[in-house]
Amino acid sequence: MLIIPAIDIKDGKCVRLTRGDFSKKKIYLDNPLDMAIIWRKQNAKMLHVVDLDAALTGEMVNFEKIREIVLNLDIPVQVGGGIRSVEAVKRYLDIGVGRVVIGSAAVTNPKLVEELLKIYRPSKIVVGIDAEHGVPKINGWTESSDLMDFDLGLRMKEMGIERVIYTDITRDGMMQGFGYDSTKRFAEKTGLKITASGGVTNSGDLKRLDELKSCGVDSVIIGKALYENNFPCQQLWYNYEEGICLDHNFSTAKTK
């Protein structure tokens, strides 16, 4: 199970939200690069970075902060948050981002996904599905889709998407355990490669996630639990080989 620390950026700072509520943010560091360096020193093999401002506005507000992280680290960085155009994807990949996450646009503009897959291989384009009781939420989790999560997943699969980051947002930032049943159901119904996200709190959650490997869940994004020191971080990563985890399609630290 590849463990991926999350860095959420709001107003240029490293923050964590509770259930995506922008009024319930906690600032951890003023400079997200400092946080990225900490996770790398803890032997992280990959980072998940989200521009929260862009998720709301569609504008790449924190692009320079993200560029700093990518240029200063020797591991892959995947980026999400408000990526709604081919130009935005190109801009990120051109600076060395390992893969981009398409969230709201997968619902509001699915043709964008089709267009991107004509230009880039599937390992570069990931779809993020953030669901509340099985219903995908979009635009910074402020609106609901008219699709069920697995329907959206299957549509993306038909287009050529191979991996989805699946978040049960009822659990996100709550420190009450991840959505085992919702993640398992989504994985079984879609047959996609899944990166789980939201609510992982302790090593017990990781053991339960390990049970879902046979369903295609091979990695997990962890946020608040790491920031709140719920894990002895070094021990989590000691057993992983230096380099890139199998099945994540990164042949070098930064691929274009």
Neighbours of 190 (CB within 10 A): 24
Q: What's the pLDDT at 87?
A: 97
Q: What's the pLDDT at 179?
A: 86
Domain boundaries along the sequence of the chain: 2-237
In sign, the C-alpha dihedral spanning 201, 204, 210, 211 is negative
The correct answer on CATH 3.20.20.70 for the domain covering 2-237 is: yes
Active site residue 8: yes
Question: By C-alpha distance, which of 127, 99, 128, 110 is closest to 20?
Answer: 128
Question: By C-alpha distance, which of 199, 206, 193 is closest to 246?
Answer: 193
Q: Which of 53, 130, 205, 218 is catalytic?
A: 130
97 three-class SS: coil
What pLDDT tens digit does each residue of the chain (256 aa) get? Answer: 899 999 999 999 998 776 556 666 788 889 999 999 999 988 899 999 999 999 888 899 999 999 999 999 999 999 999 899 999 999 999 999 999 999 989 999 999 999 999 999 999 999 999 998 889 888 766 787 889 999 999 999 999 999 999 998 876 555 567 889 999 999 999 999 999 998 888 888 888 999 999 999 999 999 888 888 777 654 555 444 343 343 444 433 343 3
Burial of 57 (0-12, 13-18, 19+ CB in 10 A): middle
Active site residue 21: no
